[in-house]
Structure 1
Amino acid sequence: MAPTLFFEALPLSVKIGTGARERSRPQTVLVSGECRLERQERGNDLLSKTVDYDRLLREIRSCVEPTEFSLLERLGDHIVDRIMEGFPGVEAVTLTLWKEPAPLPFPVGRVGVIVSETRASWSGTSTPHS
């Protein structure tokens, strides 16, 4: 069995934007994701043999909140890197990221990006915008 861990609308406070003015204060970015886990023994009931979603979500929050980004795409890559580095049981990650509210001069439900990566094609860590 290869389970998939998911989470929805994790709020992050992030300095993000294409200009210094937009990055001058944190904005709310919501992240939803799916992490396909490595094959597990059927009937597993041990946290030590799976991915602890509490730890995963805390890692995501701690890796982005002290950092600045220009684009949601780069933020997504940064989160993927942290997940792949810190959680070897994750085989693939798909994240959906959007700002809340969308910084547009007209109403829209959500607009954002989806980033996906597999362990087999992941090339390692890239550095955030400083």
Structure 2
Amino acid sequence: MSDETLDLYLQQGMYGPLETKPDERHLFLGSLRERVLLALTKGQVLRSKPYHEAEQAFKRNKHISLLINGELQYQSYSPYVKMANRNGVPFKVVSDLQFHTPLGLIIAADSAVNHESIYIQDDIFNRSVLKS
């Protein structure tokens, strides 16, 4: 076994297997861009009225999950959890203290869907750091 192979083996033993696209996974709360159906910024999740597009995504798609940024307070995302529960969609609160993302909520498929537009580009989105 070469030194390089041995080092890789030891690194994976200590820190876990290598992860594909780590920066993308940090941005999208552990998911990949190709799986995202809808992404809301933290500010959009804080909006008093939940987005209708989220309800549509829950109703129209199977084999999806709801990923929620753990930095948010429960009362801000509880309407989305209730929507997910009504539609039989599992959810997970993602807390990663090392990395911060401007996204507050992701609705992601179990496999690649490659949706071209995943953001609701309203006034709240336009004030976010994601604005291009």
TM-score if structure 2 supplies the norm length? 0.25
- Point out the structure with the larger helix share: 2
With structure 1 as the length reference, what TM-score do the two structures score?
0.25
Choose 1 or 2 for highest CA Rg. 2
